A and B are shown apart, each in its own frame.
Chain A
């Protein structure tokens, strides 16, 4: 019997015979014709990719994952409930209670409310509802007002990085222009400030950097002027070249 099996195995010559199949064959060989070829999956060791990586739980979501993906990675039995999800046409989040963000659930490490997390959550909620609008119901009114987040949290999160960037640019541009002027006229950096023209140019440089951040800003300002005056032009079209009674 053994000889027949091995002869068959040799005849078929399957090159990549996995361990499972070898086991089956071996078992069949052992048990004879009445062997049942049961695959014992639980003994088979899976590859690392199939095992789902080496991390577990929330860490498995990724390096910089948001709350939503961490929750998804933890599975349904997550920490506190759904995070930023639309369930049956309603917005569900474990921190969203009664149409408001419950600020006590946003406590950071030091026990104070982590305003950045609140801003993130509201941003994500708005994006979610923008992408898939849900009907407005009387039972779930939305009452959260963005003025609940204090002004310094907004400044710290949005204004300060931008201010840093703009200040840096202004300083660099100012210094380079001052060097340039120094080379041309021989007037030193500090002496340039004594002349009126020098001061004017300094102001122009700084304000230009503040107002015109990219080239598309110039188009934006042109558009604003057009928008501000277009309606007036449309109304006055009837009076083009005509005398208007109220002018007399």
Chain B
């Protein structure tokens, strides 16, 4: 009787550690308690091909415990954030799997990268199609201001094609040791909080139209799968407000393209967008004309038409070659980490207000997450968990909070209404403003500047706002937008 129960308990508790050996007494039909040995046990043929024959431990390992095999991390999504996370992890010695569903994905994007990104991420000049050194801001009453007078020859905004940019970063991660997997993430399960995470995905082999369902076991997961993140859903990260960005790529005649050779335009006005801006960005042989909005998404086509109309003369004779749209998060998700899963990039919601910039912060957050994991695991030798991931979150929040807050204040003050936008464009005329704006954008640091000039700037801003608001007609049909916790319909109010 005792032996049966002993044997039963030995089998029923598979998580028994190797030291505790229960000697089963032999009798006919008794189950044999198998000692847990370090044997590679692929559950599926595909997984057998996947794993590099390293040992697979099936039982839970607490944070901080040393491992006898490298830490395994899966990065879901191979965009800038995923590729940079995979690169840091692979360089640090972790076994990294980078799962990307579409290796030639051309994500709809403005494609602008600041110059600090080129230095920090060692980007070659070949992936940058154009260097924009002039920017034009156009007010609702067509007042144009040339922003960029203060830039020197070494400062520019890089315009790139996302398919080229993402591909370069992914290939670099692959070369450094990350395993690039062409697959679509379907879901993940974790049997216990300290145990391994099983990832279910559809593997796309060469020329396959339909993926083969496969699984993979890893210790940590980084969700880098963009604004519609599946990983975020799986960890109940919560929702965020998002803007819808709509863009048309237009091929224009040579002489008109010459004007946009190194110039980008930004149109503001509530015909173009009630709470964002319309843009004309030059790409390698065409321009991208687009706009976006948060509060009135159903009218996006109308805003796009208005943007095209404003740029009508400058893009005359152009042909639309592609129409694309994508959501842009407005703020981070309520929950960015759960257990051993965290989010980076657009999946986490790291897009600034006012300018809608996301590429740099995506790449930087991916890198920071990777580096935090490598540091806490001491090169992949120890198990890590939520604490290390919270370190990454804290570091990112502390480093970039000031940038995000400043851009938020700018949006709240200057995107409220047409008079506010007129004041915005008027303020951008001053060289001090241009210098401050470009310094903070290109180098991602909020530079304090001369206090006397700051006071003068404040007085000028207030004066500009007062004058523009005074010039608004009593029966104006324009709208006022507020930026708070109200619903989108309530945020849009008529002026009169």
Residues of A within 8 A of B (CB): 119, 122-127, 129-131, 133-138, 141-147, 149, 151, 154, 157-158, 223, 226-228, 230-232, 234-235, 237-238, 240, 242, 244-246
Contacts and interface: CB of A to CB of B under 8 A. Distances in A.
Contacts of A145: 426, 429
A154 B470 contact: yes
B171 interface: no
Contacts of B482: 223, 227
Contacts of B175: none
Given A127-B473, A237-B332, A246-B394, A134 B484 contact: no
A246 B478 CA distance: 45
The 5 closest A-B pairs by CB, nearest first: A237-B334, A227-B484, A127-B473, A135-B312, A234-B331
B143 interface: yes
B242 to A, nearest CB: 13
Contacts of B138: 136
A55 to B, nearest CB: 26
Nearest to B416: A227
Contact of A226 (B238, B335, B468, B484): B484
B484 A230 contact: yes
A242 B337 CA distance: 11
Nearest to B269: A133
Given A126-B140, A135-B311, A237 B238 contact: yes
Interface residues of B, number: 63
Interface stretch (B20-28, B401-409, B443-451): B401-409
B405 A129 contact: no
B337 A238 contact: yes
A206 to B, nearest CB: 22
A158 B471 CA distance: 10
B477 A130 contact: yes
B355 to A, nearest CB: 15
A52 B314 CA distance: 45
B473 A234 contact: no
Interface in B98-140: 138-140
Nearest to A243: B390
A235 B401 contact: yes
Interface of B: 138-144, 238, 240, 259, 267, 269-271, 306, 309-314, 331-337, 353, 387, 390-391, 393-394, 397-398, 401, 404-405, 408, 412, 418, 422, 426, 429, 463-464, 466-468, 470-473, 475-478, 482-486
A146 B477 CA distance: 21
A136 B314 contact: yes
Given A130-B476, A154-B467, A223-B482, A136 B418 contact: no
23 contacts: A123-B473, A126-B418, A126-B471, A126-B472, A126-B473, A129-B141, A130-B271, A130-B476, A136-B142, A136-B267, A143-B143, A151-B463, A154-B467, A226-B486, A231-B331, A232-B405, A234-B334, A237-B238, A237-B335, A238-B336, A238-B393, A244-B394, A245-B387
B403 to A, nearest CB: 12
Contact of A135 (B309, B473, B475): B309
Contacts of B267: 136
Contacts of B144: 136, 141-142
A124 B473 contact: yes
Contacts of B312: 135
A223 B486 CA distance: 9
B332 A133 contact: no
Contacts of A151: 463
Residue with the highest number of chain B CB atoms closer than 10 Å, among A131, A133, A226:
A133
A246 B391 CA distance: 8
A228 B408 CA distance: 9
